[in-house]
Structure 1
């Protein structure tokens, strides 16, 4: 009998091979890492919005059926929810309901390339190279300030709060 189990933790690495994707998942409060393998085509259904963000606490739902373990989903419980039906090219009828694989695997690649090209063209039309350089410089300045504050806090033990 199959049972569903939820695990909360962090993805520490993603390794992509031609036939499978291996996700290293560390449960919150544990020092060990679990290797979750997902068939490459099923990976597209588990992560319809693209690769998951590392360093963010996620929930993995796995199905155990004897010695077989299947990853049903991995999601950010505090993040945005994107229903597969809301993704035009992956809506009703795109996946075979029996096994979760796309009915026409070649379409995935072509649809993804076309979608990426449309998005890239929209971004290029909105921003100049100077805009991108300015945004990158602002982001780097924010990262450096965060590192500086973290180092200061670690060195002084200051939590940033006011003393009363």
Structure 2
């Protein structure tokens, strides 16, 4: 039973009506009519909170499955110019780069498996597949020993460069999953 005074209830009803209809009436002034087109901002609806939560949960699961291994291998093998697979390194055609390539390939395969069947991991999927290809090419060409031909050497250098910068790209791609990419 509502014990509020009738006059107070009337004022509250008018206030509620004003709050609800104010934004609708604001566009009914003497301004020029606008065409009924959908603005780009209105066309893109934000994901409902439960969808964002589900995506964040999925990213967290992938990060737990892959992220720790990425960080571990970054510490063990280095990245970029600090990697034994850096084309500027004197260790590109050694077993040190061969081990880094094999481990990076394993991490990348794990990333592909972790996002299999999940939506919103396009960057991670693309990056991981490229790393799997680079690690496979490095192994297939026998790059852990100096290649015999110039074409093989170029193939080894290209694969090694991808491997050297691959782990940070994997890590960043995992984080892009929070945005749905």
Q: Same fold (TM over 0.5)?
A: no
Task: Name the larger-Rg structure.
Answer: 2
Would you tell me which structure has more helix in proportion to its own residues? 2
Would you tell me which structure has more strand in proportion to its own residues? 1
TM-score (ref. length: structure 1): 0.25
TM-score (ref. length: structure 2): 0.23
Higher relative contact order, structure no. (Cα contacts within 8 Å, ≥ 6 residues apart): 2
